[in-house]
């Protein structure tokens, strides 16, 4: 029975991802973000439970990636679709426009109709990354490219900043269609970039050997306390920056 505990946690991640997709389609992006965070929580602890119980299995690995594909692949793609849609049409997606097209009232599909679907590039990049992760033996202790949960937290932070952070600057900046396209392309690239990134996996809880992890966690807590939701993009940037610095130091020490 204990060998099914990690799989149960993974399925709870998948359930949260499915619920997040439903809310993202409804353009209730804050609720979608909540279920994504809960799903990522289960995603972190399914691997932890598997290692603690000594019940890691190929089935668990495959199931984990399938769950991540929904929570951290499909959901951020739909969220970016909604943001891109809002950036060119402040009223957001309206079902009546689709019905008009079907009935022939609309003369055809315009660029603005197709433009938001660029957000699904994130979903495609996530799928490629997850498939590659399963067969890449070099990503057991660290990552190559931005992990899908980290990328998803970055994408989901954008609507949270719009909803809960005051100031016109962020609204104008985030809802700029050119900014969103750059974020989409950069996000898709970073998922599969050949950049080694450290993993938050503690073999021991001592400071030695975990310096970079404790530094990152400490800085992340400070940023969250100071900037709240706005801190999340900076935390992801810090994660990449610390990884690059760590890699440079490792090469020098060899």
Q: Helices (DSSP H) in 120-230: which residue ranges?
A: 121-135, 148-164, 168-174, 177-191, 211-227
Q: In this predicted structure, what is the pLDDT of residue 140? A: 63
Q: What digits encode the pLDDT tens for the residues 213-230?
A: 899 999 999 999 999 999
Per-residue confidence (pLDDT) for residue 129, from 0 to 100 = 95
What is the rounded distance in angstroms from the CA atom of residue 65 to the CA atom of residue 189?
A: 19
Ramachandran assignment for 145, one of left (phi > 0), alpha (psi -120 to 50 degrees), beta (any other): left
Which parts of the chain register pLDDT below 50?
92-102
pTM confidence score: 0.86
Q: Which domains does the chain have, with CATH numbers?
A: 2-194 (1.20.120)
The dihedral formed by the CA atoms of 152, 186, 24 and 12, expressed in degrees to the nearest 10: -20
Residue 110, pLDDT score: 74
> What single DSSP character describes residue 115?
G
pLDDT attached to residue 47: 72
For residue 65, give the nearest of 120, 147, 151, 137 by alpha carbon: 147
pLDDT in tens, 54-81: 667 777 778 888 999 999 999 999 999 9
């Amino acid at each position: 029975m204990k060998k099914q505990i990690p799989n149960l946690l993974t399925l709870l991640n998948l359930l949260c991802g499915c619920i997040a997709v439903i809310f993202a389609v409804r353009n209730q992006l804050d609720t979608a973000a909540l279920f994504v965070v809960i799903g990522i929580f289960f995603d972190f602890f399914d691997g932890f439970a598997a290692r603690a119980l000594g019940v890691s299995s190929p089935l668990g690995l495959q199931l984990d990636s399938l769950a991540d594909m929904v929570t951290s692949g499909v959901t951020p793609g739909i969220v970016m679709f909604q943001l891109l849609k809002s950036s060119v049409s402040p009223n957001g997606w309206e079902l009546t426009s689709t019905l008009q097209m079907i009935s022939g009232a609309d003369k055809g599909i315009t660029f603005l109709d197709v433009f938001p679907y660029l957000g699904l590039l994130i979903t495609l990049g996530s799928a490629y990354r997850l498939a590659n992760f399963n067969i890449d033996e070099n990503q057991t202790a660290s990552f190559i490219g931005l992990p899908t949960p980290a990328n998803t937290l970055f994408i989901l932070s954008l609507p949270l900043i719009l909803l809960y952070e005051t100031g016109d600057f962020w609204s104008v900046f985030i809802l700029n269609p050119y900014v969103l396209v750059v974020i989409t392309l950069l996000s898709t690239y970073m998922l599969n970039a050949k950049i080694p990134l450290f993993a938050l996996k503690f073999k021991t809880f001592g400071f030695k050997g975990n310096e970079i992890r404790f530094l990152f966690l400490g800085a992340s807590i400070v940023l969250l306390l100071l900037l709240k939701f706005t801190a999340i993009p900076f935390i992801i940037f810090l994660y990449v920056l610390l990884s690059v610095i760590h890699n440079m130091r490792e090469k020098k020490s060899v």
